[in-house]
Amino acid sequence: MEKELVCIVCPIGCRLKITGTPDNLTVTGNQCKRGIGYASDEINNPTRMICSTVKIRGAIHKVIPVKTDKAIPEKYKLEVMKLINNIELTSPVKMGDIVVADIFGTGINIVTTRNM
């Protein structure tokens, strides 16, 4: 396997070259040790933060921003978006309120990111 990534752990944005197998990776191009961890995670278990909006009734706006409180395995991102698209909240809502707890048994929640 050979893959190239841009590391997003720090502002440098190193261009990483990853070779080998998922169990035995060789990473080059990193200027710090964190690039190796990032490359390994991105190959073996990629995760993403999901930010979106959900509908809200009785508020000054029609939607409220939400996000996952931790990065969720990438394989769930489409299912999470389908779930988010079917949610409708009722005002008042406080920043940090859990909208959906323990998404798909991951221990990760969808939370609101503002008061409304």
**Each residue's pLDDT tens digit in the chain (116 positions)?**
899 999 999 999 999 999 999 889 999 999 999 999 999 999 999 999 999 999 999 999 999 999 999 999 999 999 999 999 999 999 999 999 999 999 999 999 999 999 99
Q: How far apart are CA 106 and CA 79, in angstroms?
A: 13
Residue 57, CA distances (Å) to 45, 54, 90, 107 in order: 37, 10, 5, 28
The b/e string for 29-49 (b: 16+ C-beta within 10 A; e otherwise) is ebeeeebbebbeebbeeebee
51-112: which CATH number, 3.40.1160.10, 3.40.50.300, 3.10.530.10, 2.60.40.350? 3.10.530.10
pLDDT at 69: 97
Rounded to two decimals, what is the model's pTM? 0.82
Q: Which of 50, 46, 58, 49 is nearest to 18 (CA)?
A: 46
Residue ranges of the domains in the chain?
A: 2-45, 51-112
